[in-house]
Structure 1
């Protein structure tokens, strides 16, 4: 019997303990399960290139976006499908995705990608610091950027679209926005890096360019999120939280506009 595909949330029974006593009720948790990404191309059998913990949903987009951010592909994959190997356990049935390319990747994935990471992992698996600092080469965004008045509205617009967060309070979110503040795609995941991968992947799977005026994220702007924004060809990164020193350094080098501490009242531009 086929295993039911996992959803983004699961039900659980909880005991809520407050000053006025105990209350038992049903609650929802954000689902966290492993996803193994395999890569194949003509003449090369499928091989594992990454394993991450993620919230199920938009798995094909996550895989496509991750490949773009790692600089392994420049064109949409030929096919993306759940693996159907006979030796998969029922628990693995919807947790293994195979991406097949029409030709070889832009570089050999190598041994360093055949690893695993947590849902919080962004640049895990890099062999050297220099390699982690080297963002994949992508054309810079040549269109308009959002002005400060638009930038300050973006986190609230993102928050209004966070359906899984409303149900669980346990996921991050990312969105691609136009210079006028329209959200083109919104994705949620227990891993903030995964949410960004899903946003880029949604564009790639739809046959659209991954870049855009602004990437909006619900948390801080760490180096790895700046790296993904640069790899996708985004013009600005807008974060609710603070950036790190390496994030600012990379944004400056790459010509990415970087905003942090963004609320309706203010935003701080770092690059």
Structure 2
């Protein structure tokens, strides 16, 4: 059984639910995952598991949040192969390194065909031993009520029904929702909302992000590369994620649940929060 409202994101699967020793045949809504490949200017930059919805946004966001380029010229998806083709006229040194590794692979001088992709994916596991390459400067401010609302908006219908996806919501200053995205991967939800903003000409420096997922170094780095000044998460961060947020000028808010939250960095952007920092 399928539901067109969840096309590409989830499907119903037969299961047996046991409650208090009693069995019940059910159709359980379960998250879907597919292998998705992203190419930038013809070069494969990642091949990863994702929910196969909003793939244009995923590709456009990925190349920005991974610091591979500064803008997106075009993007289109081959739905038969889940391959996203992105072009840009402003690639970075990070992308040029992948080009070199790809060329070495094709000429037999590299370690294997997946090396270029693995080099990119491994960035997510990096440790914050160096300072942020740039600092986000934004005059955006949010109120405590904005944080409370964000914690409610990131609880998507699919998140509630499957328990198997993450959700990210991008807001403009003032609380207007820009994009809502779900995916089996928390990184992918950020890529998708960033991609949506990029494709619609929205200034990310004037937005804030709400997430269900943890905020380790790699997640904070994505927001740094995209220029997002405020992150709100229901979950925890890590010491390295917090250090990067402080160094890059990001306001990092975690454990945002109900009417409580913890601000780990740059609290001056949150109206009503008193601090001695």
* TM-score normalised by structure 2 residue count: 0.79
Tell me the equivalent position of 1:12: 13
5+ residue gaps, structure 2, are 1-6, 103-114, 266-277
Return the alpha-carbon distance in structure 1 between the equivalents of residues 229 and 116 of structure 2.
31
5+ residue gaps, structure 1, are 1-5, 41-45, 84-92, 118-122
Return closer, same or farther for 1:126/1:261 CA change in 2, 3 Å cut-off: closer
Tell me the equivalent position of 1:167: 161
- Structure number having the greater helix percentage: 2
Tell me the equivalent position of 2:272: none
2:86 to 99, 111, 116: 99
Return the alpha-carbon distance in structure 1 between the equivalents of residues 262 and 133 of structure 2.
26
The answer to whether the 8 A contact 1:71-1:136 is kept is no
SS in 1 for 2:23: strand
The answer to whether the 8 A contact 1:33-1:56 is kept is yes
The answer to whether the 8 A contact 1:16-1:23 is kept is yes
1:151 counterpart = 2:137: no
1:115 counterpart = 2:114: no
Return the alpha-carbon distance in structure 2 between the equivalents of residues 127 and 10 of structure 1.
29
SS in 2 for 1:27: strand
The answer to whether the 8 A contact 1:146-1:178 is kept is no
Return the alpha-carbon distance in structure 1 between the equivalents of residues 124 and 196 of structure 2.
29
| 1:169-192 alpha-carbon deviations (Å, 9 max, x no partner) | 210011111333332211110000
Tell me the equivalent position of 2:23: 22
1:198 to 187, 192, 199: 192
Structure 1 vs Structure 2 CA RMSD: 2.6
1:247 to 237, 241, 246: 241
The answer to whether the 8 A contact 2:59-2:75 is kept is no
1:35 counterpart = 2:36: yes
Cα deviation, residue 38, structure 1: 1.4
Return closer, same or farther for 1:79/1:214 CA change in 2, 3 Å cut-off: closer
Return the alpha-carbon distance in structure 2 between the equivalents of residues 61 and 22 of structure 1.
41
Alignment size in residue pairs: 243
SS in 2 for 1:153: helix
Return the alpha-carbon distance in structure 1 between the equivalents of residues 198 and 11 of structure 2.
29
Return the alpha-carbon distance in structure 2 between the equivalents of residues 135 and 202 of structure 1.
25
Describe how 1:204-215 pairs up with structure 2 within 5 A: 204-215=198-209
SS in 2 for 1:211: helix
Cα deviation, residue 29, structure 1: 0.9
Cα deviation, residue 164, structure 1: 2.0
2:78 to 77, 82, 96: 82
SS in 2 for 1:214: strand
Return closer, same or farther for 1:128/1:28 CA change in 2, 3 Å cut-off: closer
Cα deviation, residue 18, structure 1: 1.9
SS in 2 for 1:262: strand
* TM-score normalised by structure 1 residue count: 0.80
1:56 to 46, 52, 62: 52
SS in 2 for 1:200: helix
1:126 counterpart = 2:123: yes
